[in-house]
Copies of this chain bind each other. A is one copy, B any other.
Amino acid sequence: MSKLRFSISMSLDGYMAGPNQSREDPLGEGGEDLHRWVFGLRAWREEHGLEGGGGDAVDERFAEAWSTDTGAFIMGRNMFGPVRGSWDSAPAWNGWWGDDPPYHTPVFVLTHHAREPVEMEGGTTFHFVTDGIESALEQARAAAGGRNVTIGGGASTIQQYLRAGLVDEMQLHVPAVLLGSGERVFDNLDGATRRFTCTELVASPTVAHYTYVRK
C-alpha cells in the first residue's frame, strides 16, 4: 500500500537545518554536518554517480531506504530554493541540485505562486502546487502509481503533514551533531506525534536511526 513517509537527518538538539539558509548555505549554517554520515556511503555515492565508498552496514541500509519504493516526492518552497514571492524574480531557478536532481520521480513543490512544471534530467519533474497540502498529496499519490510518497522537507512542510494526521511512517537519523539553532523538526505539532510508535532503533558509531509508524 502507498504510504506517506519521510526520512530525514536531525541534530541531537532537534534541528533539520541550520539558521540563515541562503544560496551559499542551502542547508543553513552548519546544516551540512547533519548529512556528513551519508557522504562516504556506497548508497549515496552510487546515487551521485560516484564509485567506491562504503560504510557501516546499518547506515548503508538507511541511506538506501531514503527513497525506498518512492514514486513521488513532496517538498516545501524553501527546500526547493531561496527564491521568495513570485517566480518572475528568478525564472531560471530549478532547485539546488543541478540538471539531474536525486529524485528521479515527479516532485510536488508547495508554493503560493503558480508555475509551469519543469522537466529535469534523470526523470525528475518539478510540479508546483498552489492549493494546499491535501491537493499535493493527492497529486503525488496519483503520480506515484501505488508506490510511496516521500516528504523531502523542510520542517514546516513535515509539521503541516504531521498536524493533519497524514504521515504513515517517519525515519529520523540522528548523528551526534549539536547545531544550537535552526529549523526544529518537532515543533508546532499540537500532540500529533502521540499517534506514533517506534518499530526500530539501531545505531552505528556515527548516527542513530529511529523508525516510527502511525498506530
Contact = CB atoms under 8 A, between A and B. Distances in A.
A212 B176 CA distance: 9
Interface residues of A, number: 30
Interface string A182-205: 000110010111101010111111
Nearest to A205: B201
Interface in A87-146: none
A201 B193 contact: no
Given A14-B13, A14-B14, A180-B189, A207 B196 contact: no
Contact of A207 (B192, B201, B207): B201
A201 B191 contact: no
Contacts of A83: none
A178 interface: yes
Interface of A: 12-14, 172, 174-176, 178, 180-181, 185-186, 189, 191-194, 196, 198, 200-208, 210, 212
Given A176-B198, A180-B191, A208-B208, 14 more contacts: A12-B172, A12-B174, A14-B14, A14-B186, A174-B208, A176-B210, A178-B193, A178-B196, A178-B212, A180-B192, A180-B194, A200-B205, A201-B207, A203-B203
Closest 10 CB pairs of A and B: A176-B198, A13-B186, A203-B203, A208-B208, A178-B193, A14-B14, A180-B191, A176-B201, A176-B210, A203-B208
